[in-house]
Chain A
Amino acid sequence: DAMVIQNPRYQVTQFGKPVTLSCSQTLNHNVMYWYQQKSSQAPKLLFHYYDKDFNNEADTPDNFQSRRPNTSFCFLDIRSPGLGDAAMYLCATSRAPQVNQPQHFGDGTRLSIL
């Protein structure tokens, strides 16, 4: 059974039209992450939540926001998508910010911008 679930798998939106990507987890992990991955590039961390504490990466554009209403769910909001935001968006979870805890990824959402 999938433990980190991302919806939808594929999302198409128009330039400038807000879009929300969803992630849920059944692992009861307290840390949730959002990554952006473009073709042939490493996943790039956008932000993460440690419980309810939000941690934004310094170079994450203001266009990207996140919400975590409870332990199980986390959302990525892109307020005004540009063509450069077309990418795979990966959600991951880990048990805690401890040195030996791996991150577990969902299947990703591939975002296309028209």
Chain B
Amino acid sequence: QKEVEQNSGPLSVPEGAIASLNCTYSDRVSQSFFWYRQYSGKSPELIMSIYSNGDKEDGRFTAQLNKASQYVSLLIRDSQPSDSATYLCAVLYTGTASKLTFGTGTRLQVTL
């Protein structure tokens, strides 16, 4: 059973701080990793993708991947109240015909 684990939270950070969201996965041969943001009652929105070890930055977002540790994270710098949402980690497992396995998500609350 391929699994993706996330801390459900809520993770509470003050406005302007760095939010750090973590995700672990069970299958070593996984190749593609995605972070989706989901507001309450809305559908998931892709915000970051990462495929190789290291960091990938896009604006205030940085994704970090460590395949040896089977760990992927998302950093949000200068957190804003509008960042308050559930962040879903998704892993594309090799050989599963492009099927994503999602974690249950971490709920982020950015406080004023």
A residues neighboring B (CB under 8 Å)? 31, 40-43, 45, 48, 50, 55, 88, 90, 94, 96-108, 110
- Pairwise interchain contact A99-B32, C-beta atoms closer than 8 A: yes
Whether, in the assembled complex, B42 has its beta carbon less than 8 Å from a beta carbon of chain A, the answer is: yes
B54 interface residue, CB < 8 Å from A? no
Is there a chain A Cβ closer than 8 Å to B34's Cβ? Answer: yes
Taking CB atoms, residues of chain B closer than 8 Å to A103 are 34, 46, 90, 98, 100
A48-B43 CB under 8 A given contacts A42-B104, A99-B31, A102-B49: no
Cβ of B98: which chain A residues have Cβ within 8 Å of it? 31, 48, 50, 94, 96-99, 101, 103
Residues of B within 8 A of A (CB): 4, 8, 31-32, 34, 36, 41-46, 49, 51, 88, 90, 92, 94, 97-100, 102-105
Q: Could you say which of B32, B44, B97 contacts A100, with CB atoms under 8 Å apart?
A: B32
Nearest B residue (CB) for A98? B98
Residues in B neighbouring A105, C-beta threshold 8 A = 36, 43-46
B92–A99 touching, CB < 8 Å: yes
Min CB distance B102 to A, Å, is 4
Contact of A99 among B4, B43, B51, B90 (CB under 8 A): B51
- Kindly provide the distance from the CB of A23 to the nearest chain B CB, expressed in whole angstroms: 11
Measured CB to CB, the closest approach of chain A to B111, in angstroms, equals 21
Among B4, B43, B46, B90, the residue within 8 A (CB) of A107 is B43
Q: Are A100 and B99 in contact (CB under 8 A)?
A: no
Closest chain B CB from A64 CB (angstroms): 16
Give A20 to B88 CA distance when docked, in angstroms.
Answer: 27
Across-interface contacts of B31 in A (CB, < 8 A)? 99-100
